[in-house]
């Protein structure tokens, strides 16, 4: 075998080894490798060298390997085709340890209460028009009640909720009478829908909180 033939054979063997690392179809890859070896051999014999560009991202040669490498840079969930969605956080509000019961059509609740302002005093029976968990809601309501000239005292229960008290007494009968007065005052002026729109409460469910 001539030197020319040996050099041609060496180039062909090297090209076939490179071909083994790719995942193209045999027919398509063989043609590309054989033509590549012919061109490279011609370049070695003094002809104009041929510069072979590196495979692009969407090239067929080693496509699966390239895709696998790109997937390594992606989050695990994305590579599995899973869409990552932030899970909503749900906060359940604890109603606290206030016990409740109904007597003669009136709802009573009981528990340990303390005034929000140290200068205020809470007695045993307290007329509560609404209980709020959020301070900003309380701040929005109080100016409306002040405009109505409705006296209020804010009590706080064991769970930190705000009870809007409009009357407080050690006399249960007195507290029940004040409850009736405040309900009649607001339910005769407004419909339940209007009360909800203006005050955010119907007043009809005003209850008696027993301070223990």
- Sheet hosting strand 114-115, strand order edge to edge: 99-103, 106-111, 207-211, 125-132, 162-169, 153-156, 114-115
pLDDT, residue 97, reads 61
Q: Token pair of 105, please?
A: 């059509």
Alpha carbon distance 135, 159 (integer Å): 13
pLDDT, residue 205, reads 95
pLDDT band at 144 (very low <50, low <70, confident <90, very high): very high
pLDDT, residue 145, reads 97
Res. 206: pLDDT tops 90: yes
The torsion of the CA quartet 161, 162, 163, 169, rounded to 10 degrees, works out to 100
Res. 57: pLDDT tops 70: no
Alpha carbon distance 145, 143 (integer Å): 5
172 and 120 in a common domain: yes
Alpha carbon distance 18, 31 (integer Å): 13
58 and 128 in a common domain: no
106 and 74 in a common domain: no
Res. 210: pLDDT tops 80: yes
Contacts of 47 by beta carbon, 8 Å cutoff, 6+ apart:
none
Tell how far CA 166 is from the center of its chain: 38
Alpha carbon distance 202, 212 (integer Å): 27
122 and 34 in a common domain: no
Number of domains present in the structure of the chain: 2
- Higher pLDDT: 189 or 78? It is 189
- Higher pLDDT: 199 or 82? It is 199
Local structure of 56: helix, strand or coil: coil
What is the length of the chain? Answer: 212
pLDDT, residue 44, reads 47
141 and 56 in a common domain: no
């Amino acid at each position: 075998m001539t030197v020319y033939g040996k050099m041609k054979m060496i180039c062909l063997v090297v090209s076939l080894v490179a071909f083994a690392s790719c995942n193209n179809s045999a027919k398509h890859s063989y043609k590309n490798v054989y033509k590549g070896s012919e061109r490279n051999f011609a370049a070695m014999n003094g002809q104009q060298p041929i510069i072979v560009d590196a495979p692009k991202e969407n090239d067929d040669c080693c496509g699966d390997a390239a895709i696998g490498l790109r997937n390594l840079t992606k989050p695990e969930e994305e590579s599995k085709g899973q869409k990552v969605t932030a899970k909503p956080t749900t906060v359940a509000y604890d109603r606290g340890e206030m016990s409740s019961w109904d007597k003669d059509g009136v709802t009573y609740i009981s528990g340990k209460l303390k005034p929000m302002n140290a200068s205020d005093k809470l007695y045993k029976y307290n007329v509560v028009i609404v209980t709020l968990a959020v301070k900003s809601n309380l701040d929005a309501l109080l100016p409306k009640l002040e405009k109505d000239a409705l006296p209020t005292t804010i009590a706080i229960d064991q769970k930190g909720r705000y009870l809007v008290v409009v009357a407080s007494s050690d006399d249960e009968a007195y507290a029940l009478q004040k409850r009736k007065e405040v309900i009649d005052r607001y339910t005769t002026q407004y419909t339940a829908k209007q009360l909800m729109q203006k005050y955010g409460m119907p007043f009809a469910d005003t209850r008696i909180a027993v301070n223990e």
